[in-house]
Amino acid sequence: MRRFDRFSWLPVALLFALALTLPTLATAQTRGNPLCPGEDVFFNPGNGENIVVPSGFEVSVFKSGLNFPTAVAFRGNRQRFEVFVLESGHGLPSRCNDETSSVVGGEFSATNPFTPDILVFDQSGNRIRGPLAKPTTSGVGLQAHGPAIDIAFENGFQGGRLFATDSNQAIRAVGAQNNSSRIVTVNPETGHVTPFITGLPTGDHPAEQITFKDGWIYWSQGSTTNSSVVGRDNGGGANQQDIPCQDITLSTNLFDSGGGVMTSGYSPFNTRRPGATVAAFESATGPGICDGSVLRAKVNATNPKSTIEPVSWGYRNPYGIRFAPDDHALKGGLFVTENGEDERGARPTNNSPDRLHLAQQNPDGSPDYHGWPDRFGFLDSTQAVFNPVGGPGDDNAAAVVGKPVQPVLAFPPQPITAPLALEPADVAIVGLDFVPNSFVHGPVKRGAALAGREGDFGFSKANGTPEEGHDVQLINFSAPGEPLQLQLQRFAHNSTFEQAFVSRIRGINRPVDLKFGPDDCAYVVDYGAVRDFGQSDPASRFCPAKLLDGVTPNPSFPGCLTDGSAPLLQIPGTGVIWKICRAG
C-alpha cells in the first residue's frame, strides 16, 4: 500500500521535490479543504478503473467533483430523464467544515461548498440547472447549517412534488440544532423550498431517507444520541435527548461523563431519574414524533404534521428505507438498514453490528420494536463482545473500559422484533434499492437489493482484514414462498479494499446512497473523502503523521492540526456519482 517505500531513505526536502514530479500526485489530482490548508487528499476517479464488479457489469463516472452528495432522484423515462443530485453541505463535526466562514463566502454564498443545494443533470451528465435551493436570507432555500440527507419525487420517475429532508444539525450555537430537522418540498425548476413538516428531532442523526406508498410519506428518523444517553459527544451535552415511541421504564443505571456528570437514558444531560417512567413522545414538538424510528404522515393532508405516526422503532440510526416489490420474499414490506453504535460518548460500545430489518406496524396500529438501546442485533448490550476498549470519543474511558454496557431500560416496552441479518461493525450500511429484472445476472438474483456501505469514521479498530465498508453490498433473498433467507456479499469494491484517497486509486471513498435510474443502471452516490480519527486506518487520519512515503515523520506539514480539534474533516470536490450497468 505504501507507494513510495523505495524513496524512504531520502531527505525530507528531496522527498517533497520528487513527490511533485510523480503523476499520481499532481496538483490536478488532489483536492483540499479551504478552511484548513494542508489537509489535501488524492482525487482522480478516472472511470473507476480500480473498482471491482462481477463479470457482466461495468462501472463509469456519471459525474465527479461534487460537494458531499448524499442522494439522487430521477424524473423521466429511459429515453430522456433528469438526474437530481443533493449536495448535503456541512454534515460532520469539525471546525474545518465551517459553513459560516468568510473564506467560503458565508452561509448565503451561492458557491459555498459547505451549504446544501441540488444540481440537475441530463442523462448524459450535462448540468442543466443548479445549484438550486441554496440557503437564502429570506428562508426559501435549504437550511444553511446542514446536512440535507435525501430527495425523492412522490411519484417516482413520473415526478410530482420533489421532497427533501434537511436540518441545522451542524450549527455551532449551543442547542440550536435541536428539533431542526424538516421535510420540505423543492420546486424542481426554481429551487424554491416550502416547509412540509418542521420540528423533527435532531442530534447525532437528523431525519434521513424518505419514500412513499399508498398516500403516505415515510422517513427514517435517526436517534439524537449514540446509544440513548446524552454525552459530551452530543454538542458538549447541549443536544436534545432521545424521544421514545411508547411509554418506557428506565433502569436504575446512570452513565458517567466524568467531572461528576451522571445521566439517565432518554433524559437531558446531567439529569438523573433512575427507574422513572418516560411517556411516549416526551419532549417532542408534536404527537407521534419520536426518534430511532420510521415515521409516516399523510402526504396530501392539510396539516401533515398532525397525521404523524410511528411505524417501527427501537433503532439507533435507521437510514435506508425501501419498499420491496409485492411479489418479493418480503411481500412488499419496508426494508430498513440500521447503523450500529460507536465507541464514543457516555455509553460507548465496541463491536456493535449494523443491522438489516423488516419494519411493520403491529396489527393494532402500534409500531413494532427492534430492541435499541439495549439489544444490539441478536445480543443484549451486556455481552462481553460489546465491552468498550477505549477510544478518542469516549467521555470517561476509565469508568467503562472492559466493563459491560449496562441497559438503559428496566425492560423492553414490548416483545423485540429481531433483525433479518447482521452486518460487520462500523460498515455504516446506508442507502439501498431493489434491482430491476434487467439487472439480474451472475450473482445478482431476482429480487436482490444493492446497498451502499459508507464505512467507519475511525472511532474503533478495523472490523477485519480486509476491512469491510466503503463498498456496495449485494443482498440476495430467497424466492417468495420459501423460508426467508438473506445472502450477503460484496458487489462493488476497490481493488485494494481501502478508500480511494488513502490508496491513491481511481475508486470509491464513501458510498451513501444507491438508486436505480430509468435506464436500469445503479447510480451510486459517493460522499467523497473525509479525514477521520484514524483508529481503523491511520493513513486516513486528519493531520497525517507521515509524509508521502508513509514512513518519514511529518514534523511541520503546513496546516497540520496538531491540537486534535478537527477530525472528520470534509474535502470538497471529491464527491462522485458512479454508474453501474449491465455490460454490453
The pTM of the full predicted model, rounded to 2 decimals, is 0.91
Q: Among residues 231, 230, 320, which one has the least CA distance to residue 283?
A: 230
pLDDT in tens, 299-315: 999 999 999 999 999 99
Q: How many CA atoms lie within 13 A of 254 on its CB side?
A: 14
Looking at residue 40, its pLDDT comes to 84
Whether the per-residue pLDDT at 18 is higher than 60: the answer is no
Per-residue pLDDT averaged across 512-522, rounded? 98
> Which one of 3.40.50.300, 1.10.10.10, 2.120.10.30, 3.30.930.10 gives the CATH number of domain 5-582?
2.120.10.30
Least confident of 344-348, 463-467, 542-546, 580-584: 542-546
The sign of the torsion formed by the CA atoms of 150, 68, 76, 514 equals: negative
Find the angle CA(264)-CA(268)-CA(274) to the nearest 5 degrees.
25
List, in order, residues 6 or more apart from 453 with CB less than 8 Å away.
423, 427, 428, 429, 430, 468, 469, 470, 471, 472, 473, 511
Q: How far is the CA of 92 from the CAs of 169, 204, 318, 523, in angstroms?
A: 9, 10, 18, 23
Angle of CA points 466, 470, 471, to nearest 5°: 90
pLDDT at 116: 98
pLDDT category at 559 given cuts 50, 70, 90 is: very low
Please state the domain extents for the chain. Answer: 5-582
Average pLDDT over residues 246-267: 98
- Quote the CA–CA distance of 354 and 419 in Å, as a whole number: 10
pLDDT at position 98? 93
According to DSSP, the β-strands at 309-313 and 368-369 are parallel
Report the pLDDT value the prediction gives residue 173, as an integer from 0 to 100.
82
Tell me the mean pLDDT in the region 537-546. 64
In this predicted structure, the answer to whether residue 391 has a pLDDT above a threshold of 50 is yes
d(CA 33, CA 501): 14
Task: Report pLDDT for 498.
Answer: 82
- In this predicted structure, what is the pLDDT of residue 17? 32
Quote the cell numbers at residue 202. Answer: 435532531
Binned at pLDDT 50, 70 and 90, residue 542 comes out as low
Mean pLDDT of 194-203: 97
Under the banding of pLDDT at 50, 70 and 90, the label for residue 426 is confident
CB 208 within 8 A of CB 329: no
pLDDT of 183: 98
Residue 25: what pLDDT? 36
What is the DSSP secondary structure assignment for residue 4, as one 8-state letter? T
**What is the phi/psi pair of residue 360, to 5°?**
-160, 140
How far does Cα 300 stand from its chain's mean position? Answer: 28
Residue 151 has pLDDT above 70, yes or no: yes
Comparing CA positions, the residue from 251, 230, 233, 253 lying closest to residue 241 is 230
pLDDT over threshold 80, residue 461: no
Q: What is the mean pLDDT of residues 99-122?
A: 96
On average, the pLDDT of the chain sits at 90
Residue 38: per-residue pLDDT: 78
3-state class (DSSP) for residue 75: strand
pLDDT at 564: 53
Q: Residue 321: helix, strand or coil by DSSP?
A: strand
Query: What confidence tens digit (pLDDT) does each residue in 85-109 have?
Result: 999 999 888 888 999 999 999 999 9
Residue 185 confidence class, pLDDT cut points 50, 70, 90:
very high
Each residue of 440-469: b (16+ CB within 10 Å) or e? eeebbbbbbbbbbbbbbbbbbbbbeeebbb
* Strands of the 471-477 sheet, one edge to the other: 51-52, 486-494, 471-477, 449-453, 429-434
Q: Model confidence at 392, in pLDDT bands (50, 70, 90)?
A: confident
Lowest mean pLDDT among 459-468, 469-478, 570-579: 459-468
In terms of pLDDT, which residue wins out, 453 or 25?
453
pLDDT recorded at residue 174:
82
Q: How far apart are CA 452 and CA 492, in angstroms?
A: 9
Of the given ranges (33-42, 168-177, 202-211, 529-538), which has the lowest mean pLDDT? 529-538
CA angle 285, 286, 290 (to 5 degrees): 85
* Phi-psi map region of 311: left, alpha, beta (phi>0 left; psi -120 to 50 alpha): alpha
- Taken in order 97, 101, 104, 109, the sign of the CA dihedral is positive
**Sign of the CA dihedral running 281, 286, 292, 296:** positive
C-alpha Rg value of the chain to the nearest Å: 23
Residue pLDDT, tens place only, 52-97? 999 999 999 999 999 999 999 999 999 999 999 999 999 888 888 9
pLDDT of 350 strictly over 70 = yes
- Output the CA angle 268-247-258, nearest 5 degrees: 25
Helix/strand/coil for 186 = strand
For residue 220, what are the CA distances in angstroms to 231, 265, 314, 338, 414? 23, 21, 12, 10, 21
Q: Has residue 1 got a pLDDT over 80?
A: no
Over range 32-44, report the average pLDDT.
88
- Using pLDDT thresholds of 50, 70 and 90, give the confidence band for residue 565: low
Lowest mean pLDDT, pick from 35-39, 40-44, 356-360, 507-511: 35-39
Q: Provide the terminal-to-terminal Cα distance of the chain, rounded to the nearest Å.
A: 33
- Amino acid 36: pLDDT: 86
Kind and range of the H or E run holding 184: strand 181-186
